[in-house]
Amino acid sequence: MNKEFKLFNTLTRSVEPLQLLEPGHLRFYSCGPTVYSYAHIGNFRSFLTADLIYRTALSIGWKVTYATNITDVGHLTDDDLMDPSGEDRMVHALQSKEGERFANIWDLARYYSDVLLEDWQHLNLLEPTVQPRATEHMPEQIRAVEQLLASGHAYETSRGVYFSVASFPAYGNLSGNTEAQDLEQSVRDVVVDPEKRDPRDFALWKKDESHLMQWFSPWGWGFPGWHIECSVMSMTYLGEEIDLHAGGEDLIFPHHECEIAQSESLTGKQFAKHWVHTRFLQVEGDKMSKSRGNYYTVRDLVLPESEGGKGIDPLALRLTLLAGYYRKPFNFTFNTLRASIRHRERMKEALDLVSGALEANCPGKDVLVGKLEPLFDRALSAMLDNLNTPDAMAATLEGVKEIFSAGRLNGASARAAQRWLDRTNALLGIVYHDREVVDSSEQEDTFAKQVEFLLVERTAAREGNNFVRADEIRDELSALGVEVMDTPEGPKWKRRSTID
Ligand code: AMP
Ligand code: ZN
Instruction: Give the model confidence (pLDDT) of 401-431 as tens digits.
Output: 999 999 899 999 999 999 999 999 999 999 9
* Confidence bin at 87 (pLDDT 50/70/90): low
Distance 353 CA to ligand 1 centre (A): 39
For residue 304, pLDDT beyond 70: yes
Distance 225 CA to ligand 2 centre (A): 11
Is any ligand 1 atom within 6 A of the Cβ of residue 280?
Answer: yes
Predicted local confidence at residue 81, as pLDDT: 42
Judging by beta carbons within 10 Å of its beta carbon (0-12, 13-18, 19+), is residue 315 exposed, middle or buried?
A: buried
When mean pLDDT is compared across 125-129, 190-194, 307-311, the lowest value belongs to 190-194
**What's the mean pLDDT when you consider all of the chain?**
90
Nearest-ligand number for the alpha carbon of 50? 1
Greatest mean pLDDT range, 19-28, 432-441, 461-470: 19-28
Cα dist from 390 to 88, 380, 387, 393, whole Å:
38, 12, 9, 5
Distance 238 CA to ligand 2 centre (A): 14
Closest to 478 in 3D by CA, of 360, 305, 300: 305
* Opening angle at CA 160, ends 200 and 234, nearest 5: 75
For residue 77, pLDDT beyond 60: no
> 3-state SS string over the chain?
CCCCCEEEECCCCEEEECCCCECCEEEEEECCCECCCCCEHHHHHHHHHHHHHHHHHHHCCCEEEEEECEECCCCECCCCCCCCCCCEHHHHHHHCCHHHHCCCHHHHHHHHHHHHHHHHHHCCCCCCCECCEHHHHHHHHHHHHHHHHHCCCEEECCCEEEECHHHCCCCCCCCCCCCHHHHHHCCCCCCCCCCCCCCCCEEEEEECCCCCCCEEECCEEEEECHHHHHHHHHHHHHCCCEEEEEEEHHHHHHHHHHHHHHHHHHHCCCCEEEEEEECCEEECCEECCCCCCCCCEHHHHHCCHHHCCCCCCHHHHHHHHHCCCCCCCEEECHHHHHHHHHHHHHHHHHHHHHHHHHHHCCCCCCCCHHHHHHHHHHHHHHHHECCCHHHHHHHHHHHHHHHHHCCCCCHHHHHHHHHHHHHHHHHHCCCCCCCCCCCCHHHHHHHHHHHHHHHHHHHHHHHCCCHHHHHHHHHHHHHCCEEEEEECCEEEEEECCCCC
d(CA 308, CA 304): 7
Predicted local confidence at residue 483, as pLDDT: 81
The predicted model gives 25-39 an average pLDDT of 94
Is any ligand 1 atom within 6 A of the Cβ of residue 128?
Answer: no
Fold of the CATH domain 283-428: Isoleucyl-tRNA Synthetase; Domain 1 (1.10.730)
Asked if residue 254 has a cis previous peptide bond (ω within 30° of 0), the answer is yes
* Confidence bin at 79 (pLDDT 50/70/90): very low
Distance 227 CA to ligand 2 centre (A): 6
The residue whose C-alpha atom lies closest to atom 6 belonging to ligand 1 is 33
The predicted model gives 180-195 an average pLDDT of 59
Predicted local confidence at residue 82, as pLDDT: 39
Locate the ligand 1 atom nearest the alpha carbon of residue 35 and give its number: 2
Predicted local confidence at residue 445, as pLDDT: 64
Locate the ligand 1 atom nearest the alpha carbon of residue 33 and give its number: 2
**Domains of the chain by residue range:** 6-278, 283-428, 443-495
Predicted local confidence at residue 86, as pLDDT: 53
When mean pLDDT is compared across 36-40, 391-395, 462-466, 473-477, the lowest value belongs to 473-477
For residue 437, pLDDT beyond 80: no
- Most distant CA atoms of the chain, gap in Å: 87
The predicted model gives 245-265 an average pLDDT of 96
Distance 135 CA to ligand 1 centre (A): 20
Distance 247 CA to ligand 2 centre (A): 7
Is any ligand 1 atom within 6 A of the Cβ of residue 282?
Answer: no
Nearest-ligand number for the alpha carbon of 75? 1
Asked if CATH classification 3.50.50.60 holds for the domain at 6-278, the reply, yes or no, is no
The number of CA neighbours under 13 Å toward the Cβ of 296 is 24
For residue 74, pLDDT beyond 50: yes
pLDDT in tens, 319-343: 999 999 999 999 999 999 999 999 9
The predicted model gives 158-175 an average pLDDT of 96
Radius of gyration of the chain (CA): 26
When mean pLDDT is compared across 16-20, 378-382, 398-402, 470-474, the lowest value belongs to 470-474
Locate the ligand 1 atom nearest the alpha carbon of residue 31 and give its number: 10
The predicted model gives 20-27 an average pLDDT of 97
Distance 46 CA to ligand 1 centre (A): 6
Type of residue at 263: S
d(CA 88, CA 40): 19
Predicted local confidence at residue 190, as pLDDT: 47
The predicted model gives 435-449 an average pLDDT of 65
When mean pLDDT is compared across 74-83, 122-131, 391-400, 414-423, the lowest value belongs to 74-83
Predicted local confidence at residue 195, as pLDDT: 93
Closest to 246 in 3D by CA, of 259, 263, 265: 259
Predicted local confidence at residue 485, as pLDDT: 82
Predicted local confidence at residue 393, as pLDDT: 98
How much of the chain exceeds pLDDT 90, in percent?
A: 71
Is any ligand 1 atom within 6 A of the Cβ of residue 113?
Answer: no
Type of residue at 297: T
pLDDT in tens, 103-138: 787 888 899 999 999 999 999 999 999 999 999 999
The predicted model gives 188-193 an average pLDDT of 53
Cα dist from 182 to 13, 230, 253, 435, whole Å:
20, 24, 11, 46
Locate the ligand 1 atom nearest the alpha carbon of residue 251 and give its number: 12
* Confidence bin at 75 (pLDDT 50/70/90): low
Is any ligand 1 atom within 6 A of the Cβ of residue 31?
Answer: yes
For residue 151, pLDDT beyond 70: yes
Predicted local confidence at residue 188, as pLDDT: 40
* pTM (predicted TM-score): 0.88
The residue whose C-alpha atom lies closest to atom 17 belonging to ligand 1 is 42
With beta carbons less than 8 A apart as the criterion, state whether 69 and 230 touch. yes
φ, ψ of residue 405 in degrees (nearest 5): -85, 0
* Confidence bin at 353 (pLDDT 50/70/90): very high
* Confidence bin at 59 (pLDDT 50/70/90): very high
* Confidence bin at 359 (pLDDT 50/70/90): very high
- In this structure, the number of other CB atoms found within 10 A of the CB of residue 321 comes to 25
* Confidence bin at 265 (pLDDT 50/70/90): very high
